[in-house]
């Protein structure tokens, strides 16, 4: 086998591979004899068909079949011989395949790029930390109570924090606006679920009362026809409900798995969960910063075949979320590749860099860390040992866990070399990521949160109705 290598544009490479005609014809002869045994032709007994007739009938198709087989096998022999690392399958093209001529073909493909790991001391990381104080625990308990808040009907005028049910109709210049009307719309006053003027208009009304008022819509309101407009509303109060927080009692504690020990045990459980959440949040923020740094510090051409495969993975994942059939059914959602391209490129890029770091620094899976990770994973189940056994009995699942642990080791390795800035903040700031976010990002996040709140839809009996 003769192999010549030609470097094309970018990562593209072409191999020209020549196989001796003697080798090809010998293997073709074997195929022809196999066909002689198996072939069935009218007028001939099985196995008694003359080889000349087999060659005439089946020779061209068998020659093409053999060429395909030999091109595939010799391609992999060639890349091993030349120490090449293809990023995807090749495009094969026959140049000569005539009888008594060498089989010559080309294989064109993209290579996995050679990556030079950047100076990891240039990685800059902010490491947030917080001390969980008693006030943080109390706030968390109040949030847990808020999550289980109930509303009970009352015979009084509506006020802040009340849940109300209303019918309303808005008009502009005497014309009813469809996007500013609704029935049995439910919302909580003071939560920003409606625009400010509308919430004010719904305040101070008892069940059965009607009210007319004006409401100014913000310039960035989602419905274009209402942006910056003052709308005349007619509203009927159908129900007023006041909030009822659950009491801190044994029944409430049992909802969080605390069967005994009362409030003291419950607070310890809350604190324990907060500590775990804090640890995981810091870990995830550090990892995200490491990956962002790696992406910024490395610049190289990304192989198109690898990006295409990653796009397919992302498509399948999204389709899975929509409970759609995977692979081959993407047209049902008509998802364009461009929607996933940037994310796919970043994932491929980071994967290549991480693999190079693993190779360069000879990192191997730490079995102690793997065991600890598996125990933590299993601890959330009723029978942890059974879960651990299931994972250990499934090589594919264990491989996924190993890759996760190895990736964490890569992060730890990079952090050990990086420039670290310690950021001490309160619990909420660390958990939200605000502790290490740039000031402009924090301001943007607050603005987006406000806008999202204003735009949040109210759902009543399965129907979305909202002027705010």
Per-residue model confidence as pLDDT tens digits over 116-126: 999 999 999 99
Q: What's residue 39's pLDDT?
A: 79
Residues of the chain with CATH 3.10.50.40: 150-244+454-464
Q: Which of 99-103, 294-298, 323-327 has the lowest mean pLDDT?
A: 323-327
Return the higher-pLDDT residue of 97 and 179: 179
**pLDDT at residue number 462:** 33
Give the model's pLDDT for residue 198: 97
Q: What is the mean pLDDT of residues 215-231?
A: 93
CATH 1.10.3120.10 domain range(s) in the chain: 262-437
- Residue 347 has a pLDDT of 95
Section 370-397 average pLDDT: 91
The residues of the chain that CATH labels 3.30.70.1050 are 2-110
Query: For residue 456, is pLDDT > 50?
Result: no
pTM for this entry: 0.75
What is the second-level CATH architecture of the domain 2-110? 2-Layer Sandwich (3.30)
Say which range, 90-99, 274-283, 356-365, has the weakest mean pLDDT: 90-99
What is the CATH T-level fold of the domain 262-437, as seen in this structure?
Trigger factor, domain 2 (1.10.3120)
Predicted local confidence at residue 320, as pLDDT: 79
pLDDT beyond 60 at 325? no
The pLDDT value given to residue 250: 94
pLDDT band at 227; cut points 50, 70, 90? very high
Q: Does pLDDT of 410 surpass 50?
A: yes
The pLDDT of 57-62, averaged and rounded, is: 84
If you average pLDDT over every residue of the chain, what do you get? 89
Confidence (pLDDT) at 380: 81
The pLDDT of residue 343 is: 95
Say what percent of the chain tops pLDDT 70: 91
The stretch 174-194 carries a mean pLDDT of 94
Three-state SS letters, the chain: CEEEEEECCCCEEEEEEEECHHHHHHHHHHHHHHHHHHCCCCCCCCCCCCHHHHHHHHHHHHHHHHHHHHHHHHHHHHHHHCCCCECCCCEEEEEECCCCCCEEEEEEEEECCCCCCCCHHHCEEEEEECCCCHHHHHHHHHHHHHHCCEEEECCCCCCCCCEEEEEEEEEECCEEEEEEEEEEEEEECCCCCCCHHHHHHHCCCCCCCEEEEEEECCCCCCCHHHCCCEEEEEEEEEEEEEEECCCCCHHHHHCCCCCCCHHHHHHHHHHHHHHHHHHHHHHHHHHHHHHHHHHHHCCCCCCHHHHHHHHHHHHHHHHHHCCCCCCCCHHHCCCCCHHHHHHHHHHHHHHHHHHHHHHHCCCCCCHHHHHHHHHHHHCCCCCHHHHHHHHHCCHHHHHHHHHHHHHHHHHHHHHHHCEEEEEECCHHHHHHCCCCCCHHHHHHHHHHHHHHHHHCCCEECCEECCCC
Confidence tier at 457 by pLDDT (50, 70, 90): very low
pLDDT for 451 equals 44
- pLDDT band at residue 102, thresholds of 50, 70 and 90? confident
CATH T-level topology, domain 150-244+454-464: Chitinase A; domain 3 (3.10.50)
Predicted local distance difference test score (pLDDT) of residue 4: 93
């Amino acid at each position: 086998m003769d192999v010549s290598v030609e470097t094309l544009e970018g990562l593209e490479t072409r191999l020209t591979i020549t196989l001796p005609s003697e080798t090809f014809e010998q293997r073709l002869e074997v195929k022809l004899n196999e066909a002689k045994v198996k072939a069935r032709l009218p007028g001939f007994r099985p196995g008694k068909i003359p080889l000349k007739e087999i060659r005439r009938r089946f020779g061209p198709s068998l020659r093409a079949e053999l060429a395909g087989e030999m091109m595939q096998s010799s391609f992999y022999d060639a890349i091993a011989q030349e120490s090449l690392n293809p990023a995807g399958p090749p495009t094969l093209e026959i140049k000569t395949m005539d009888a008594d001529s060498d089989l010559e073909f080309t294989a064109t493909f993209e290579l996995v790029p050679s990556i030079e790991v950047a100076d990891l001391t240039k990685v800059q990381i902010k490491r947030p930390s917080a001390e969980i104080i008693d006030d943080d625990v109390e706030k968390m308990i109040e949030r847990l109570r808020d999550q289980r808040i109930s509303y009970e009907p009352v015979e009084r005028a509506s006020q802040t924090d009340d849940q109300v049910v209303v019918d309303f109709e808005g008009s502009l210049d005497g014309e009813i606006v469809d996007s500013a009307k609704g029935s049995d719309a439910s919302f909580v006053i003071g939560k920003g679920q409606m625009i400010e003027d509308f919430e004010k208009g719904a305040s101070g009304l008892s069940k059965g009362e009607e009210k007319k008022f004006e409401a100014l819509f913000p310039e960035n309101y989602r419905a274009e026809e209402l942006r910056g407009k003052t709308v005349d509303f007619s509203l009927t109060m159908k129900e007023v409900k006041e909030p009822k927080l659950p009491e801190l009692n044994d029944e409430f504690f049992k909802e969080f798995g605390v069967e005994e020990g009362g409030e003291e045990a419950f607070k310890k459980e809350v604190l324990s969960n907060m500590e775990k959440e804090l640890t995981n949040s810091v870990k995830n923020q550090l990892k995200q910063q490491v990956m962002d740094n790696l992406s910024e510090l490395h610049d190289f051409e990304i192989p198109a075949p690898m990006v295409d495969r990653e796009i397919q993975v992302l498509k399948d994942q999204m389709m899975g979320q929509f409970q759609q059939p995977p692979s081959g059914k993407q047209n049902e959602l008509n998802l364009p590749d461009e929607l996933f391209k940037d994310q796919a490129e970043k994932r491929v890029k980071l994967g290549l860099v991480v693999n190079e770091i693993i190779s360069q620094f000879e990192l191997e899976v730490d079995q102690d860390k793997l065991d600890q990770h598996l125990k933590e994973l299993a601890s959330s189940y009723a029978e942890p040992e059974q879960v651990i056994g299931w994972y250990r009995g499934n090589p594919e699942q264990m491989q996924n866990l190993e890759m996760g642990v190895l990736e964490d080791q890569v992060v730890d390795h990079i952090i050990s070399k990086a420039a670290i800035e310690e950021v001490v903040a309160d619990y909420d700031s660390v958990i939200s990521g605000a502790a290490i976010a740039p000031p402009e990002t924090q301001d943007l996040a607050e603005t987006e949160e406000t806008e999202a709140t204003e735009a949040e839809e109210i759902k009543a009996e399965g129907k979305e109705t909202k002027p705010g």
